Every structure is written in structure tokens, then in C-alpha cells.
Copies of this chain bind each other. A is one copy, B any other.
Amino acid sequence: MTSNLAALTTLYKTTLLENVIPFWATHSIDKRYGGYFTCLDRAGSLYDTDKFIWLQNRQLWTFSMLYNQVEKREQWLKVAQSGADFLVQHGRDAEGNWYFSLNQAGQPLTQPYNIFSDCFAAMAFSQYALATGEDRSKEMALQAYNNVLRRQGNPKGRYNKAYPGTRPLKSLAVPMILANLSLEMDWLIAGDQLDTVLQKTVDEVMGDFLDNDRSLMYEYVAPDGAHVDCYEGRLLNPGHGIEAMWFMMAIADRQNNRNLIEQATDIVLSILNFAWDEQYGGLYYFMDAEGHPPQQLEWDQKLWWVHLETLVALAMAYRLTQREDCWAWYQKVHDYTWGHFSDPKHGEWYGYLNRRGEVLLPLKGGKWKGCFHVPRALYLCWQQFEQMQSSQA
């Protein structure tokens, strides 16, 4: 890879704007019903028409964000609008909870069984409201955000299969998504409320989910942060931990909290040391903290989002700290990620590789991969390198 900041800026920017976004703008629009197709094969052909709410909202977020942050292109706003209209009409049940999936026409397929659909709806409609200025979209965003706050103590509601009381566990996903979501919605949330929520997520992530001795993030802990010796309690999700750390850095940057930036950087590097596959390269998807067999059969696979979130975390850490160890890891992860996930022939990136880095599923989108992690990471890395360039100039 080039270590030239200008070249990296250009690489991320042109890949985003000339390769990835055109892929989705060309292949994902449902002209008949509105909303987005996400089940697209290597060349962008459609293989399934179901609409998964996480991905619908995430694509709405992406096109709205580009419109807000990059350029006021009418085409991007039109793509966003096609998703927003579909989601307003079909996305929620009578109580205002977001379904998990719909069929092509918008009829519900899967009940609102967790709060993450609401999280991504809040993010999406917040960006879309910024783009359009419409009150309706602001209300959609705030209503979804309040769903998340209200349901965070029991994210799965009546679909929770855990027997109450025997082994209470809490999930890293909840505070980390609240951190990101609250940052996204800062323009819609009163300053006091925002500061309180952000500080609470920092305290919980760094206080309860961080193992201080090992400098690793655990996926599930007891309510008081203690480790629990069971499958969930031993689970590490390295990509999740690293993503959480760049959320922490973004909050720390805002608070000008140098200690938190250094701490989050140390944890990113520590997770990388633990989860890097020395034999074949890349980061494992799941690991057991004690080295026992994890229950996830896909544990050794290499996933696009894990590597892209790592590039974001390392580029951000390098921008904020100028530490050489960040830069060395950035280069290593850059070479693996660009070398294995991007598809120069048909555009966009593969999502799922086996341990050896061979393509496991020849798709560009599916039930869980849509227009989100690739463009968001490309945009954020572009921004990090552009800012480093200007501060050197």
C-alpha cells in the first residue's frame, strides 16, 4: 500500500463515489414498490426480494449522509426518499415498533423481536430529516430513539428466551449502539440529555465490558460487569470490540478527553494482537476468551465489516494519536482488507471469506450485508486521511 496520505484520501473517496455507491444506486432500487433490494450477487443481480429492516434503514442512512456530508446530489436524495417513503408506510407495527423484515411489497414477515431495527431507524430518519428538513422525519427519528431508550433494559422483549434470574447477562451491543446513535442524533437531542447518555455509555463500555487485565472487550457480562463462565460470558467478538472503540474515540474527541483516546487505542491494538490469524491473516469473527471451542461454527471466517471497522478505528486512532504502532497495524490490515474483500471486476466488496481468505459466499449483499459498512467505512477513512493531510499542510 501507499503510505501517502493524499493517495489514501483519493483511494477511499473514489472507491466510495465511483464504485460502491454506483453499485447500490444501479442495482438496489425497487422501482415498483420503493425500498431497496439487498440480496445481490457478485455482479449485482437480484436473487431474493425480501426487505430486511436493518438494511433498509442503513441504506436510507447512507444516501442521506452522503447528501448531507459530501454533496447535495438530487439523485442521492431521490434514492433516500424511495426508502423513507417505503419505510414510513410499512416499517412499523401498530405500537410503533420496527419489524425485522418485510416482503417486497412491504407486508410484515418477521415481528419486531429486538431493538436494533429501531436503532437503525432512528439513525436513518435523523440523517434523512437533516437532508429534507421535514418534521415528519424528525418525529420518526425521535420516536424510534425513544423506543430504544425505553426497551434497552430488555432488548428482545417478549421474545427473550432467557429464564429470569438464573444468569442475568447484559450485552455490549446495547451501550455501543446507543453511543453511536446518540452521536448521530446530537442535533435532535437536548445537550444535557446527550451528555448524560454519552457519559453513561462510556462508563458502561469501559467500566463493565472491558477486561482491564487483558485489555479485551467482552460481549456479555453480568449486570455488575463480572465475567460469567459460560458460552456467552466467554465470547469475544473482535470486530464488535474494535468498532465500539472508535465510537469511544469519537466521543472522546468531542470531549477532548486524551486519556480516553489513548485507552481506546490501546484496546484496539490489544484486540488485534489477540484476534489476528497469524497463519492466514485477517481477524477471526468470534473467539472464546479461554481458548475453548466457541459455539459459533463461523468463528474462523473473515467478515467484511470486522475489517472495515478496524480500518476506521486505526485511521482514527492514528489521526488522533500519531502513534507508530497504529500506523503499522493500519498498513497490515489495509493490505489484507483491500487485497481480499474488494472486487475490482464487478464493484463493491465481498462480505464473507473463509479462514483462508477465499470467497465463501459470492454475494455483494444479503440478509445482513447491505449498503452500510462499506460506504460508511470508506467515507470515514477518507475523512481521517483528508484531515491528516490538511493538518500536515
Contact = CB atoms under 8 A, between A and B. Distances in A.
Interface of A: 39, 41, 47-48, 50, 99-100, 103, 107-111, 113, 158-159, 161-163, 166-167, 229-231, 290, 292-295, 297-301, 352, 354-355, 360-363, 366-367
A47 to B, nearest CB: 4
Contacts of A109: 162-163, 166-167
Contacts of A360: 297, 300
A48 B163 contact: no
B50 A166 contact: no
A100 B160 CA distance: 13
A18 to B, nearest CB: 26
Q: How many copies does the complex hold?
A: 2
B41 A292 contact: yes
Contacts of A292: 39, 41, 47-48
Given A111-B161, A299-B361, 8 more contacts: A48-B229, A48-B230, A50-B230, A103-B167, A107-B163, A108-B163, A110-B161, A159-B159
A161 B162 contact: no
Q: Which of A39, A109, A163 has its CB near the most chain B CB atoms (within 10 A)?
A: A163
A99 B163 contact: yes
Q: Taking chain A's interface residues, is the majority helix, strand, or loop, or is none over half, making it mixed? A: loop
Given A109-B162, A162-B109, A367-B231, A301 B295 contact: no
Given A110-B161, A230-B48, A293 B166 contact: no
B110 A41 contact: no
Contacts of A366: 293, 295
A99 to B, nearest CB: 7
Contacts of A167: 103, 109
A367 B297 CA distance: 11
Contacts of A299: 361
B110 A293 contact: no
